[in-house]
Chains A and B, each alone.
Chain A
Amino acid sequence: MKVAILQYNAGNVQSVRFALERLGVSPIVTYDQQTLISADKIIFPGVGEASTAMQFLKEKQLDKLIPTLKQPFLGICLGMQLMCKFSEEGKTTCLGIFEETVRLFDNSQNLACKVPHIGWNNLQKLKSPLFKGLSENCEVYFVHSYYVPLNSYTIAQTDYLVPFSAALHKKNFFATQFHPEKSATVGEKILQNFLEL
C-alpha cells in the first residue's frame, strides 16, 4: 500500500510519519501531484496558520488538485480546517470540500476554559468506520484555537465551550480536529482504521 503524506509548511509532518512507521507503513512525504494522484491513501497533516498554509497550497496548485482526489484522504487539525470553505483565521478562503466556516473559540463567557484548547478530551456520538473498535468517550489529544461547528458531515463531536466537530466525513474525505498521531493507542487505532478503509 502506497501512503502519501502531503508535505507543506506544516509542523507535524514528521510526527505523522513516525506514527505510520509504528504501524508498519513507510509513507512517502511529498507535494508532487503525480505521486499524490497515484497514492492509495493520503494524509494531510497540519499545524500552523491557515492563510500561510493556503498560500503554500496555491503556489503548488494543490488547492485545485485536492478536491478532485478520489482515494481515502485524511486531514488532521489545520488540515481539517483547510478542507472547509472559509476560516476566520486570517480570513482565509479554503478548499471548500466541506461547506463550513471555521470559527475562533469565544471564551468571553467562560474564562476558565482557556484558548487554545490544549489537551485530552472525549469523542462522542461516533459514527464512522474510522472509529471501529473504539467506544464512546474515548480520549484524544487536541491543540487548536479554531473549530468547525457541528454540521451534517460531523462523525464525532467533542465539548469545549461549545459542542464542535471532532471529525468530519464526506465521500472519500475524512478529517479529524484532534491529532491521532499523538493520541496514544486510541489514535493508533484510528490511523489503522483509516489505512484499512
Chain B
Amino acid sequence: MHKKRIIPCLDIKDGKTVKGIHFENLKEVGNPVELAQRYAQEGADELVFLDITATVENRKTFAELVKKIARVINIPFTVGGGISTVKDVGELLNAGADKVSINSAAVYNPDLIDELAKHFGSQCIVIAIDTNLVDNFWRVFVQGGRKATKLDTFVWASEVEERGAGELLLTSMKHDGTKKGFAVMLTSKIAQLVNIPVIASGGAGTLKHFADILTEGKADAALAASVFHFGEIRIKELKNFLASKQIPVRLG
C-alpha cells in the first residue's frame, strides 16, 4: 500500500540549520548533516533542505553541503532556496539532490517550470507555493513570504501542474509557526484540484495535526521543522500514532 510521507524540513543559513518563526527571528538548532542522519535513522521518509542565505557566494557552500548530505543519507531529499536557472538545478542534482524545490523564480518566469521538466523530468521538480489570505483570497507570496503577488493560489497550482511540476509543496503562512494545525481546508481543495502529490507545510504542533492533514486535508505528505528539531515530536512516535489511526505509513 502506498504510504503517506513525513518530511522534516531543515532551513539552512551559511551551512547551518535554522528555523524561522513566521519566516523571521532565526535561531540555530544544529549541524544539518548530523540532523539529517538522525532523522533518516528515526524513520523520516524524505528530507527537505532550504537554503535561506541565497547569496551568490553562499550558493557554493550550499552545493558542497548537498554533496556531504548525499554521501551519508540513504533516503530521498529535496533542496531549495534561490534556485532560478537550469544551471542551478543541474549543479544541485549533480551534487546528489533527488529533487529541487522552486518558488519565486517560477512565479517570475513560469516558463522555467517547462524548461526544467523537459530537461530533468517532472519527478524532480517540486514547486513550492507560499500562500496567505489577503482580503479573503489565497494569494501567492514570493521572496520567502515577504512579498505578495496578484496570483491566486488555486490558479497558480493548476498552472504549475500543467507546466510540468511533479509535486507541490504548499505552505500556508497563516498557519506556519503557529503550531495550531495545518491549513486543512485549503490543502484539501488544492489536493483535489491537481493530479500531482501535495506536500502540506506550516502549522504542525501535535500528533493529531498530522493525522488531520493526511486524512481530511488529503495531503500526500506532511512537512514540519521545529516540532522535530526541538524534539517535541519524535518521528517514531508520530508514525506509530498515525498507524494506530489506520493511516498508511512506513514503519521500517
Contacts and interface: CB of A to CB of B under 8 A. Distances in A.
Nearest to A115: B195
Nearest to B167: A118
Interface stretch (B28-36, B119-127, B204-212, B227-235): B119-127
Contacts of A14: 70, 93-96
B162 to A, nearest CB: 14
A182 B76 contact: yes
Contacts, number: 99
A120 interface: yes
Contacts of A143: 76, 98, 123, 166
B74 A187 contact: yes
A144 B74 contact: no
Interface string B76-94: 1000000000000000011
A21 B71 contact: yes
Interface stretch (A35-43, A56-64, A106-114, A149-157): A106-114
Contacts of B218: 112
B195 A119 contact: no
A121 interface: yes
Contacts of A160: 2
A45 to B, nearest CB: 12
B81 to A, nearest CB: 20
A116 B220 contact: no
A61 B25 CA distance: 56
B199 to A, nearest CB: 10
B220 A139 contact: no
B196 interface: yes
B74 A184 contact: yes
B12 to A, nearest CB: 19
Nearest to A78: B121
Nearest to A121: B2
B96 A49 contact: no
A60 B167 CA distance: 33
5 contacts: A111-B192, A116-B196, A139-B250, A143-B123, A144-B123
B112 interface: no
Interface string B105-143: 000000000000010111110000000000000000000
A171 interface: no
A145 B123 contact: yes
Interface of A: 11-12, 14-15, 18-19, 21-22, 47-49, 107, 111-122, 139, 141, 143-145, 159-160, 179, 181-185, 187-188
B98 A121 contact: no
B19 interface: no
A121 B96 contact: no
B94 A182 contact: no
Given A114-B220, A120-B2, A139-B250, 19 more contacts: A11-B98, A11-B120, A14-B94, A15-B70, A18-B70, A18-B71, A21-B71, A22-B74, A48-B120, A117-B2, A118-B167, A120-B45, A141-B75, A145-B122, A179-B76, A182-B98, A184-B75, A184-B252, A187-B74
B40 A118 contact: no
B56 interface: no
B187 to A, nearest CB: 14
B229 to A, nearest CB: 21
A84 to B, nearest CB: 18
Top-7 shortest CB links A-B: A120-B3, A120-B250, A14-B96, A143-B123, A182-B76, A114-B197, A48-B121
